[in-house]
Structures are given as C-alpha cells and as structure tokens.
Structure 1
Amino acid sequence: MNAKFSLIEAQVINQALKNVALETGIVLQRSAFSPNIKDRLDFSSAIMDQDGQLIAQAEHIPVHLGAMPKGVQAIIDYFGKENILDGDIYIANNPYLGGTHLPDIAVIKPIFYDEKLVGYIANRCHHADVGGVVPGSMPSGKYTLEEEGYVIDPTIFERKGVLNQEWFDDFLSNIRVPVERKGDIQAQIASTKIGEKKFHSLLQKYSLDRVQQVIDFLNERSKNASLELIEQIPENQTFSFTDCMDNDGVKDESINITAEVERKDDKLIVDYSKTDSQVEGNINATYAVTLSATYYILRCLISREYATNYGLYAPLDVITKKGTLVDPLPPAGVAAGNVETSQRITDVMLGVFSKLFPDDVPAASSGTMNNTIIGGLDSTGKEFTYYETIAGGIGAGKNYSPPNAKHSHMTNTRNTSIEVLERYYPLRVEEYSIIPDTGGIGKWSGSNGVRRSIQLLAEEGVLSIQSERRVHSPFGLFGGKEGGKGKNLLKTSNKIMQLPSKITKKIMKGDIVVIETPGGGGYGKK
C-alpha cells in the first residue's frame, strides 16, 4: 500500500472515476432521440488515460467496452498525439480502426488539465441506421464493409470547439432518418463535454498527482488479482475448446471458432489461430471484438472488488491469425460479427475455462442477440428503421438456475417496451411471451427463451435478421442438457414459412415476423 493514501481513499477515487463514466452515460441516455439509445440503452461510456489505456468504465455493453481503448488508440495513431488539441472532439466507426461494426459510432474527447493532455472520455452508441444497402445497415449476405454503411475513419468532429459542419452534413445526407441520427450524435457530443467537466472536478478536488497515484495503484492491484487467478492454472499445458457458427448467411456451412489457453509464467495466452478462415458473409469479427469477448470472461472470473482497468488485462495475451473469422482482412463485411460472432467467442471461452474453473463457469446462454431490423416508409412517407436485440435463455451454473428471458454476455441492453415500439414505428406486437421448456435440463437448469411476434402496418418494408443457435444448440456442462434452438418465422396472409438464421427480404403489410429465441444450457446431471 502506498503510504500517501489508504485503500479506502483509493476506492473512493475509483468509484468517482466510474461515476464520471456513469454520469456521461446518463446524460447521453436522457439527451438521445432514438428508442435504441434512450430506451434500450444500447450505448457505453469509458475513460482512458493519455495513451488510450482504460482507467474506468460504466457497466454498459461488454462488446463496446472491451474495444473502447482500441478506438481511442486508433485516434492517437491516426493523428499523432502532438496534433490532439484542447477543445477537439473525434468521431469514428471503422471496425478495422478500433471499431466494432458500422452502426456503433464512437465519439471521443481528449481531456486537458493545466494545458496537459491527461486522458480521454469516450462513448459508443449503436445507431439504428448508418446508410448502406438496406435499412439498419446490417444486411445478410455477401457485402463489403462500404456496402454495409457509411464508413467513418477517424475524423476531427470539433476543432477547438468548432463543429466540422461540412463533414456532418455529408454524413447526414447519406443515411436514413437523419433527424434521429443528428440528435443522437449531438447527445454523444454533449455527454463527452459533461464527462470532461466531471473529470476536471475530480482533479480539482484531489489534484492531478494524487489521482494519478491512485490510478497507478488500482492498475497494479487489478493486475495482481489477475495474476492470482492465473496462478491457479497449470503451467505448460494447453486447454482448448471449439464451438461453431450456424452459417455466414451466404453458404449453409458451419464455421468453427477454436481457442487454446495456456499459462506461461505470469502470462495467460489465449490463441485463436486455429479458427476457420474469414467468410463471404458478414459474420467476421474484428480483433477489437475478439478482444472484448476475451476480456469479458477474465473480468467475470475476478471479484468486482477490483477495478476494471488496463492493469486487470495486462497479463493477458490474445493471439489471432490474420484472415480468420476472428481477425478478418478488409474490406470483409463485419456487421454481424460484432453482435453474433462475439457471442460465440464468449461461448468458446466459457467452454475452455469450464475446464479450469468448473465451479465458476456457467453453461452456454442463448448465444445470439437475435438482431431484428424492419425498415421502410410509414403512412406519411417518412423513413423509419426499427432495430432490436431480443433476449433469450441463460446458461445455468453450479448452485444457480437463472431467470428467464434475459440479455446475456456481449449485450447488456433492454428489450424495447411494446408501448415505445408501437408509438415510434408502424408496427404492432402480436405476442411477447416466454417459451416453456426451452432451457436445458440439469441439476441446475438453464432458463427459457422468448417469442416476439411483430406485425408490419406499413405498406411494405425490408426485414433483416442476424441470429444464431438455429442449427447448433447452446451447450450444457457436466451432464446438463443443451438449451433449445431458436427459430425465425414469417406469417403471411396465406402461409407460414421458416426463415434461416440470417436473411434480408421484402415483407408486406400484415406480415408477422416471429422470433423465437434459444434457451440456456443446463449444468450438472439431473
């Protein structure tokens, strides 16, 4: 312990840092225009240091948060630290430059104090549309990154407080529902400015030197917690696990993801090099997404007593092979990699770590975000884009039978309430229910998925679904049974058709889209 402060004071400052990220998120939520951000809470906020390394984060969306430092570091690398100025704000969404997928737009503000760069406040929001070939910017099929939507390389959005209006106008002219996008991005900007003020207040209260000392201490403390976990793993042994994606939306073939975990001295090596090659469909996941899923499992295995910061992840080396599903080469499409492949990477990590920490790791949850997008024109001729991830079953663990119908792992959002959905979109919810007997049976049983049936009230629309676990069930552990598979249906005036896990197709007025989500796996033999 550093003699200059107590553990209590360190924890107080740690909580204050987390609160900066949390309060910026609250401002963002309350200022946003779209239901996806203000109601579903599909956003994240975090604070990085002057080198782009994580200091603190709010408990928002894991797939956003693990990748956030890469996004800030991409800004630093792109412009050079010497060219980052007080009063600047940056914007980006390029998945190959620290992003996740195009709908996730990051807004990043450097924080200066006494004319010195001391850190960054950043947020990332999923926007319901960023242009591209179909509403929602998440088409199923063989599409390049630029066909998916508007690509934002690291861009100076404000220079010394002056908005880059020319760029903003170009962006808004190339996407759907520009009023909504404009309002959401303005909310992102406002929240970073509030975050800067909150961070300044913290430095004024404790001093920059004291806060930096505490940050260094907290990083070292979190690193030691990770090392204590790693010491429980046998040295020089390799533990592996493989799981697969149903298909890529182009070819009806499964794609394997393999992780090999090995402890070498004080390092934990997670190697994905044996994963299958990148695919034509857009389920490819960038390295930042793979990092997020891997970080998430380590975070879950370590007590929340320890701060989430770069020290926590310092002993972890994540190895990938370029050109594979978990580290593709551009211009491969990645729209579903962020939302679907990230969930499978998480399942693979659960599988391998269940061999190391069987009492602490649960069976597979639904393993999909069940992304559902419907876009078109309402009765007044205005564009609309509805986007939602739909909850599913949760995997059981030792001494734990989970609740039904929850978002899990890489997502931490809400379902859109029926009242909000029907108010904002020409849609009607016909059914929203828990599907019985979809959780895997075990000594502790997995929980059930849900059925969500949505009718189109507009004359026509475009439906896109990006989902998984329609072919391969969520696995159980230690004798527990698999969770039930999901199913996608389309009910028209004269027939009911089963849809594949990934599809983009035209639908007509009166058609009902039915999403049945998977259950969670069971744990232990009953």
Structure 2
Amino acid sequence: MAKDSIDPITLAVVKGALEQIVEEMDAIIVRAAFSPVISEQLDRSSGIFHPETGEVVAQGTLSPPLFVTAMQVTTQATLEAARQRGGFRPGDVYIVNNPYLAGTHLPDIKLVAPVFVEGQLIALLATCGHWNDIGGATPGGFAPTATEIHQEGLLLNPRPLYREGVLQEDFLGFLLDNVRMPEERRGDLNACIAALDVGKARMGELVERHGAATVLDTFQSLNDRSEQHMRSLIREIPDGTYRFRHTLDNDGQQDRELVIQLSATVRGDTIRFDFSGSSPPVRGAVNVPRKTCIAACQIAIKHLFPEVPINGGCFRPFEYEIPATTFLGVEYPYAISGYLESIGRVVSTVVGALNPGLPQRALADSISTTGVITMSGTHPQRNAYYVMLFPAAGGYGANAHGDGLVHGPSALGSANYPSVESVEHRLPVRVEALELRTDSGGAGAHRGGCGTRYVYRSLAEGVAVAALGDQHRSRPFGVHGGQPGAGSDVVFYGADGATHLPLRTKGLRVLNTGDVLEYRSPGGGGYGLPAQRAPEEVLRDVRFGYVAAATAREVYGVVLRQMAGADPDAMEVDEPATAAARSRMMKENG
C-alpha cells in the first residue's frame, strides 16, 4: 500500500491506537514506579518511533515537552549503536543516559526496545524515567558545583540491558551498586520495563488488526503531514533575519553573566537558528549539548505553533548552527547538570526573536528556570537514606488573548510538585508555605502569571540542600509595553538571620534543626501597557491576591475603595480617582 493511498478513516483509527498505546505505557510507569519524582511528579515519557529513521511517531500527551525531541535523538543514537552490533534482535532492551547523545541529563534513564512481529521489525519503543539519584558527588544529580560530567554521576552509552530477552545481571548489579537507594532505582527501572512489555504486546495486536504495511505507511503519512503543516505555518513569518539576546545570571562558578545570542533566518518554509554569537563553554554545570539545544528550540516552536501534531515530521523544516565553541553546543566532558537553566533561556530567546514576525502569536516570557532544590540525608527516625527533588512552578507570560498562567510547571519538563504529605512523610522537614507570590507577575494590559513561594523548615540536623536555579537577574521579559516578571530568589533563615548563597540561586548548604529555606519562583512577563488594563480586572487581581492594593494604584493607576474594613471582597474601584490616575499614566507612557 502506498503511503498516500491510506484512507482518512484508517489513518485516524491507527493514529488513535498509537496514541492509546503510549498513554497506557505512561500510565504503567507512573503506577509502578517507586520514587515520587516519577509517580507523583510525572517526570517520565514513552514513545513509538520509526524502525528505520528513529523519528518519533507518537508520544504521550503528558510527556514533558523536552522529551519530545530528546527521545527521538536518543532512539536514533541507540539505533546506530544496535546496527554496529549487528542490529536489534527480539527481546533486546538497550539502556542509555549519555546527555551528549540523548539530549537531557544523567538521571534520565532511557530504554529502547524493538518490536518484532513475525520476524519483521515494525517499530521501536522507548521509555524514560527520571531516577532520583545516579551516583556522583551530589545526591539527586543536580550538581551546582560540578566542573565535569563524571562528578555528576554514571554515564551510560547505549548498551543492552537485555540481550534477546536475557537480563544482563552483572551489568545491572554494577549499575545499582553505584547509585543511592538502589532498590528504589530497581523499582523505577522495572516500571519502565513493564511499560515496554505492554507496548510491544499492543503493537502486535495493532499489526494483527491492520497489517504491517498499513501501520508502517501510517507512520510515514503522519510525519509527512506534520511536516507540511509546520512548513505552512512558517510561511506566516515574513522572510528575514530576526535577532534576540538573552542572558543567564552565572554558571555556578563565577558571578559573570552568560550570553545567548540568536539569529533566526526565515526563508520561505524553513528557519535556520544560529547561536554562534553565544558565550563560550564554561567551567560550571550550565553547559548544553548541541542536541539538547535543538530540543529547546523545538519547545519554543511548539509554544508558538501549538496546533501542529508533534512527531518527527514537524522537526524537519529547521536547520541549526550551534558551534562546540559555545556553551550551547558542548561535547564530552563538560558538566551539564544545570542544563535546564540554559535551555529555559534558549526557549525564551527563540520566542523573543520570532515575536516580531508573529505579532498575533507574540508571547511574553515565562518562568524559564527549573529552580530545582534537592534535599538529602539520613532520616533520624528511620535511619534510612533519603533524596528528594523539588522543581519549581512559576508564572507564564501573557499574550494577546489573556493573562499568563499562575503557578504553572516549567515549560521544559512540566514536572509536578510532590504532595506536601509525601514530602513530610519522606523527609524530616515541614512545608510551612506553598503559596502564590503576590506582585510577581509582570504588569500589563494582560498580566503575567504569578510565581510561587515555598518555605521549608528543617526538623533535624544535617539536611543537605543543593540549589540549582537561575533567573534572579535575568527576569522574564514583557512584550508590547508589558513589564517583566519578578526574578527568582533563594533565602536561608538560621542563627545568623537571613542569608543567601554566594551565587544566589546556585550552591550547597546544610540545614540544622529549625533552619528555614525559602524559594521564590519567577512570575511571567506582561503584555501591553499596564494603563490599558481594565479596572475591574485589576480589582479581581487584588481580590485573588495576585496584585497588592498599593500596586494597583501605583502601577495600574487603579484606586481602590474599601467599603467594609479590610475585606477584599468588599473593595470597589474609585472611578474618578482611577480615571485621573490612568490618564496621567497614559501620558507618561506616550
């Protein structure tokens, strides 16, 4: 059957079946995993890939965005490694985490397995589960003081974990001997293996119903259609070169900003991203492998064109110039465990560059730090080791259609925050605040979303904290007159009062009993002039705690009158005073 002869009904049915398979695989990983970073925070992914090209065909709707591209390059690297060994065989399962090949970082353990039906290779399946620890100098794998990759943990090139269905016990034993909490790691690995087993069974059933030729032709048709769709949208952008400059606060070693310089050249239905003008590789852990930078560019494109179905076809219209002489294209052995901070800013840079060419789709900047706080130590009651990761949520940028999302997960990983009950059960800490950060969203005709404030109190001695974040000085930008969102911050309260890490959002600290850690995540940028925001919307913001009453007056020119003491639900707009204040602001803003 020729790929263009597939009737629309069959195409839709097979497409739906593929999507159902990956959703079921994702659900199995979540339900069977041992560690909360997978079972609660959903830091995992599953996908179906073309057996010859390794292009992604289907991926779970709740997969972290970064994995959409990263899982494809992982599968392609594993496909090449298998070819060098004579090709995949039924029952093989390869394991890999090499970030220079696999596009993320060492804790992301990826498995790739072939699907054979009656001796024919039909598809490749891949899963990823974020391990709570991968060895290395810093528990959890987010190492703010690392200066090369081997300080960050075990590095695994693509190699068989199962050979023709036989588990390589010695290799697995070596791996588990070199990570913290090995039984938890074993449980997470088995969850991904179970997902692969179910995925292979479901693919076999699909082939039995429709035939191998139809399934393979559907792979090609779905990817070709996404490519055509993406190219048609790129044609909306006027030809030309669009430039944008963004920064990181520092690399975790020196208090010196890093520059991301992008030239995006649009020609017809293609875009070429050139990062040649960016800062050189650094000693700290915020370097980015080339393939990871490419994945970040694709996340930005997905934000600008959310209607395109995600598969390998929509990646085809793009070219990249990311030299190894920049910190965005590094090779072995540069440290990369802080890569999320850098690629968050890459996403923002691509959006900032293309905004002028897409005025109706323009986006203000969002939280682009993952702001991971890792806590580890030995629990005093259980005498057992613990490691737990806390990714930050924050504000999204506003756009022409409305305000930014409040308390949204990072657009890179979409990892949920664990439940407070889970945190306090597993760690000797108390969560004293998990609340919106008032006034953190950038002001505008449409307001940026608010960031979040987290407060932890240590209930024991020796709670080791590793902070690996950014965006304290490099705040989320606004567009069309909108103001930037608030930056991030990390504050410690102890016997010496309030103190900061030397590099503010990156570093190590040990908490003793009663010490407090406060993390404040960024808010999103605003869209349009603040004086153009409707007074009733400002009043609503004050009622909900998004904006302080003083800010409503000073920034938005809206004066509030309280009718019943301090009850925010009883506030109303003082119309004459507001009209005068807003007229003044409009004149000041031209």
Q: Which residue of 1 aligns with 2:545?
A: none
C-alpha deviations, 1:236-289, integer Å up to 9, x for none?
x21111111110000101101122111234422111122111111000111221
Matches within 5 A, 1:92-491: 92-235=96-239, 237-302=240-305, 304=307, 306-337=308-339, 339-379=340-380, 380-491=382-493
The 1-side partners of 2:196 and 2:321 are apart by: 33
For 1:170, the aligned partner's letter is F
C-alpha deviations, 1:424-483, integer Å up to 9, x for none?
222210111111111000010101111111122232022111111111211001100000
8 Å CA contact 1:493, 1:510 repeated in 2: no
For 2:353, the aligned partner's letter is V
8 Å CA contact 1:483, 1:518 repeated in 2: yes
The 2-side partners of 1:170 and 1:85 are apart by: 24
Q: Which residue of 2 aligns with 1:79?
A: 82
Normalising by the residue count of structure 1, what TM-score does the alignment of the two structures yield? 0.96
Per-residue deviation, 1:172: 1.0
Per-residue deviation, 1:22: 1.2
Q: Which has the higher contact order (CA 8 A, sep 6+)?
A: 1
The 2-side partners of 1:429 and 1:376 are apart by: 17
RMSD: 1.6
Per-residue deviation, 1:142: 4.0
Per-residue deviation, 1:509: 2.6
Q: Which residue of 1 aligns with 2:510?
A: 506
For 2:281, the aligned partner's letter is Q
The 1-side partners of 2:515 and 2:463 are apart by: 10
8 Å CA contact 2:236, 2:358 repeated in 1: no
Any idea what SS the aligned residue of 2:394 has? coil
The 1-side partners of 2:245 and 2:400 are apart by: 22
Any idea what SS the aligned residue of 2:500 has? strand
Normalising by the residue count of structure 2, what TM-score does the alignment of the two structures yield? 0.86
Q: Which residue of 2 aligns with 1:52?
A: 54
The 2-side partners of 1:323 and 1:84 are apart by: 35
Per-residue deviation, 1:64: 1.9
For 2:371, the aligned partner's letter is N
Structure index of larger Rg: 2
Per-residue deviation, 1:2: 6.8
Is residue 2:33 matched to residue 1:69?
A: no
Unaligned runs of 5+ in 2: 531-590
For 2:29, the aligned partner's letter is L
The 1-side partners of 2:526 and 2:306 are apart by: 24
Unaligned runs of 5+ in 1: none
8 Å CA contact 2:48, 2:59 repeated in 1: yes
The 1-side partners of 2:126 and 2:167 are apart by: 17
Per-residue deviation, 1:173: 1.0
Kindly tell me: are residues 127 and 71 of structure 1, through their superposed partners in 2, closer, same or farther at Cα, counting changes over 3 Å?
same
Structure with the largest fraction of helix? 2
8 Å CA contact 1:92, 1:99 repeated in 2: no
The 1-side partners of 2:201 and 2:484 are apart by: 49
C-alpha deviations, 1:109-135, integer Å up to 9, x for none?
111122122221111122111111121
Per-residue deviation, 1:224: 1.0
C-alpha deviations, 1:339-359, integer Å up to 9, x for none?
211111100011011111122
Any idea what SS the aligned residue of 1:80 has? helix
Any idea what SS the aligned residue of 1:376 has? strand
Any idea what SS the aligned residue of 2:485 has? coil
